[in-house]
């Protein structure tokens, strides 16, 4: 099926409008995710002042953060049992986003280097 020039022009206009609407939705969701990440970091640091929290992953890149993106946080300076409690509590508190916690002490060397180089301290 071939579209005529006028129909193709309408198709392109509609596709551009939908793409722009999606971009706007993703940007708004990303802003919300940053707020959640900061709240999570505050929650962690209030309980464990020695903890270091860094955001990484798609949250850092506007073109990569989409509707189903999660929040990746790396944590340093917390005992494993406390780490699990924190993760469970964040999961109960934050219903709009999945938060993935990474214990910087047990991730691969490559991931650790990536987090240290590109991660954003919270």
User: The domain containing residue 43 runs over which residues?
Assistant: 5-121
pLDDT at position 23 is 73
Counted domains in the chain: 1
CATH for 64: 3.30.460.10
pLDDT of residue 9: 72
Mean pLDDT of the chain: 90
9-61 pLDDT tens trace: 776 777 777 767 667 888 899 999 999 999 999 999 999 999 999 999 999 99
61-88 average pLDDT score: 92
**Average confidence (pLDDT) over 76-90:** 92
Q: Where are the beta strands (DSSP E) in the chain?
A: 52-56, 71-76, 99-103, 120-121
CA 8 – CA 5 distance, rounded (Å) = 5
């Amino acid at each position: 099926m071939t579209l005529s020039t006028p129909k193709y022009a309408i198709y392109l206009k509609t596709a551009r409008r939908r793409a722009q609407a999606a971009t706007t939705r993703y940007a708004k969701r990303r802003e919300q995710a940053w707020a959640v990440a900061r709240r999570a970091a505050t929650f962690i640091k209030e309980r464990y002042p020695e903890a270091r929290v860094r955001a990484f992953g798609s949250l850092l890149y506007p073109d990569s953060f989409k509707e189903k993106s999660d929040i990746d946080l790396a944590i340093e300076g917390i005992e494993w049992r406390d780490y699990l409690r924190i993760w469970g509590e964040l999961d109960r508190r934050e219903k709009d986003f999945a938060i993935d916690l990474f214990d910087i002490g047990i991730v691969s060397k490559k991931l650790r280097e990536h987090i240290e180089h590109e991660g954003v301290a919270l």
